[in-house]
Amino acid sequence: MGLSKTEKFSVHQNELAVMSKALGHPARIAILEYLLKANSCICGDIVGELGLAQATVSQHLKELKNLGIIKGNIEGTSTCYCIDSEKWESISVAFSQFFAKQTICVEGTCC
């Protein structure tokens, strides 16, 4: 597979692509929904909630943490996770602006 040549695209386009990739797995969406529902820091419950292996959940948490959408605080022997509300808002705004762009297709000019 070739290089993606990200330098050919705008910063905004690259940022949306990175966010999309990080959100592009159902397990990550499930993790975010669980954290949103709990509305607090969660320690260790995520594996039980998803029914996936600890290593798999850890990889998904790592991707979400790399994006900055979740934060992790070490408490004893475990890490507690919660949504980073500022990053959540910035991602929400970025996608809202992207999807707010209207498509106008004049009859006979589109497929």
Q: What is the pLDDT of residues 37-82, one digit of tens each?
A: 987 777 778 888 888 998 999 899 999 999 999 998 887 777 889 9
* pLDDT confidence bin for 20, thresholds 50/70/90: very high
Mean pLDDT of the chain: 87
Structure-model confidence comparison of residues 16 and 110, the more confident one: 16
Residue 89 has pLDDT above 60, yes or no: yes
**DSSP state at residue 6:** G
Query: Between 11-23 and 26-38, two packed helices, what is the crossing angle to 10 degrees?
Result: 80
Q: What whole-number distance in Å separates Cα of residue 56 and Cα of residue 27?
A: 9
Structure-model confidence comparison of residues 79 and 17, the more confident one: 17
Contacts of 44 (CB under 8 A, 6+ apart): 78
The answer to whether 71 and 81 have CB atoms below 8 angstroms apart is: yes
Q: Tell me the domains of the chain and their CATH numbers.
A: 10-100 (1.10.10.10)
pTM of the predicted structure, to 2 decimals: 0.82
**What single string gives the DSSP state of each residue in 50-109?**
HT--HHHHHHHHHHHHHHTSEEEEEETTEEEEEE-HHHHHHHHHHHHHHHHS-----TTT
* pLDDT confidence bin for 1, thresholds 50/70/90: very low
44-66: b (≥16 Cβ within 10 Å) or e: eebeebbebeeeebeebbebbbe
